[in-house]
Amino acid sequence: MNEMQKDAEWWRGAVIYQIYPRSFQDTNGDGVGDLPGITRRLDHVASLGADAIWISPFFTSPMKDFGYDVADYCGVDALFGTLADFDALVARAHDLGLKVMIDLVLSHTSDQHPWFAESRASRDNARANWYVWAEPKPDGTPPNNWLSIFGGSAWAWDARRCQYYLHNFLTSQPDLNFHEPAVQAALLDVARFWLARGVDGFRLDTINFYVHDKHLRDNPPLPVEERNDLTAPKVNPYNHQRHLYDKNQPENIDFLKKLRAVMEPFHAAAVGEVGDSQRGLEILGEYTRGNDRMQMSYAFEFLSGNSLRANRIADVFAQVDRVAAEGWVCWAFSNHDVVRHISRWSLSDASARAYTTLLMCLRGSVCIYQGEELGLPEAEIAFADLQDPYGIEFWPEFKGRDGCRTPMVWQSDNRNGGFTEAKPWLPVPSSHLPLAVASEDANPATLVHHYRRAIALRAAHPALRKGAQGAMQAAGDVLSFERNEGDERLFLAFNLADSPASIAAPAGRWQALALDFGCAVPVAGQISLGPWQAAILKNIG
């Protein structure tokens, strides 16, 4: 493999650090994070050993959904800075050896986007078909039974055209019509714009929502026993349907191939967010197999509230082997949409370290979310302080996403954690202050240093970064598997419980690795694992 081919596969096994720009660092005193703030704090990200950053949306937006409602795909919202600020961010990231991925929201725009303003103006203008418009039923009700992720019908009435338009999310987020070739062409031009500015790839929001069924057929009901909360909270009626027609359409793959062709000359990579509670991994496999679709897709299996026990992890990877063996998964435990995993799984310091090590040993790429390296728990946000429309809609049964979006804490001796000198857009919990970066950096025994060691371990071993993975075995609370790449063969075992456990050591000669993690050493053919202890062994003959 030549150097160009190696560079083109930088994404395979990469560790990607997600930055939520509103909450990373404020530099202009308005209580909201900004692009210069990201640039200022990139040294911290680089110190972790991350390969890339993923920046959540910073485009021009009315902020009804905090940037996921885009009003100008090629502009930076004044809240976050300027295009010049973005260029400076990219330059600094590249100087530090970090790739830059940005969050493209292609399935829908804001209702404030000029495209939608023109589209809704009449039925015969140049962009009349750029969004999904439909006639009402004879009784005036929506054209079908599709539901919005944010609750209620996925259709909103527009008095200008006397038609309904589709919105899979907020009513202020109308869906683009991917059956219109001009829409696809315009979105590919958006990708070209950012690639030309030096970005190294994209996180593609709601990648399986792009194309809808052109016949607008009703979704069938989903049996109660098949419902789960991987995509929407349990209280959301969205979970009552099998989403056969409002997303996951076969024509989607044709667009992904076009996007991949645009990205290839830049050696750029994309990670797609597949939002589907029943067929998520299967769709992931479809979207990432071969060399002409997306490189990676984001998996939701470890972002749910389900306890992450050994047998569950083994079951997930067995399913990956069945339906996505030719694809490439990007794993995460936390992000900007779910309860932080420290709280979601009620982790202790020991269990948090064990899961961190495990994450860095799994086949696939990895996303870590700002603050998880500090062990930040979910913040409790009072209803009066809520900003998230999702939480406001379903409160109190579902409290929304603000609890994981509170500002990053950089200093313990500042009531706002060093994030801002003004009132922050979301309150900084007092419980987060002792976990600030400056405090944890100063103590080598803290979680942030464990993240650095675990990421360094992954980077040091080709088998962990890009290698094959054998079938996982779950023996009680112990999860074990092998990773292989070239001449390197590793055996890994994780005790995911508060009680000690013992398993047989693999046959052959093995060298124990990661002893600075406190990993176990095999003795007399047995591996004795303390609570939440791992064993990482390298075959030496």
Helices (H), 324-446: 341-344, 349-359, 389-394, 437-441
9 touches 63 (CB < 8 A) = no
CA atoms within 13 A on the CB side of 520: 26
- The DSSP call for residue 469 is E
Strand order in the sheet with 155-158: 133-134, 163-166, 155-158
What does 142-191 look like in DSSP terms, one character per residue? -SS--B-TTSSBSEEEETTTTEEEE-SS-TTSPBB-TTSHHHHHHHHHHH
pTM passes above 0.95: yes
**Residues near 185 by beta carbon (within 8 Å), at least 6 away in sequence:** none
Q: Where are the domains of the chain?
A: 3-23+44-75+88-109+181-378+449-458, 468-539
pLDDT along the chain (541 residues), means of 10: 62 98 98 98 98 98 96 98 98 98 98 98 98 98 96 96 98 98 98 98 97 98 90 89 97 98 97 94 97 95 88 97 97 96 96 98 98 98 92 88 97 96 97 98 98 98 98 98 98 98 96 94 96 98 84
**326 carries an active-site annotation:** no
pLDDT score for 247: 97
176 touches 109 (CB < 8 A) = yes
For 147, list phi and psi in degrees, rounded to 5: -115, 155
Rounded to 10 degrees, the C-alpha dihedral 319/325/327/329 comes to 40
Tell the residue number behind the tokens 């936390």, with chain if given.
334
Q: Does domain 3-23+44-75+88-109+181-378+449-458 have CATH number 1.10.3430.10?
A: no
The tokens for 518 are: 């406190």
> Which amino acid type is present at position 469?
Q
Between the alpha carbon of residue 479 and those of residues 177, 329, 460, 483, the distances in Å are 45, 19, 22, 13
Helix (H) / strand (E) containing 329: strand 329-331
- The DSSP call for residue 394 is H
Measured CA angle at 410 (ends 404, 415), to 5 deg: 85
Q: Tell me the sheet residues that pair with 482.
A: 491
In the CATH scheme, what architecture does the domain 468-539 have? Sandwich (2.60)
Strand bridging mode 201-204 / 269-273:
parallel
Tell the residue number behind the tokens 């792009």, with chain if given.
210
Helix (H, G, I), strand (E, B) or coil at 76: strand
From first CA to last CA, the distance across the chain in angstroms is: 27
For the chain, percent helix, then strand, then coil, each to nearest 5? Answer: 30, 20, 50
Helices (H), 60-122: 83-95, 114-119
> Which amino acid type is present at position 336?
H
Report the candidate in 300, 244, 303 with the shortest Cα–Cα distance to residue 277.
Answer: 300
Q: Name the CA radius of gyration of the chain, rounded.
A: 23
pLDDT score for 307: 79
Residues 175, 183: Cα–Cα separation, whole Å: 11
Q: Select which of 34, 77, 273, 482 is catalytic.
A: 273
pLDDT score for 1: 40
**485 carries an active-site annotation:** no
335 touches 302 (CB < 8 A) = no
What does 24-65 look like in DSSP terms, one character per residue? T--SSSSSS--HHHHHHHHHHHHHHT-SEEEEPP-EE---TT
Q: Select which of 26, 34, 77, 205 is catalytic.
A: 205
| Bond before 396 cis per omega within 30 degrees | yes
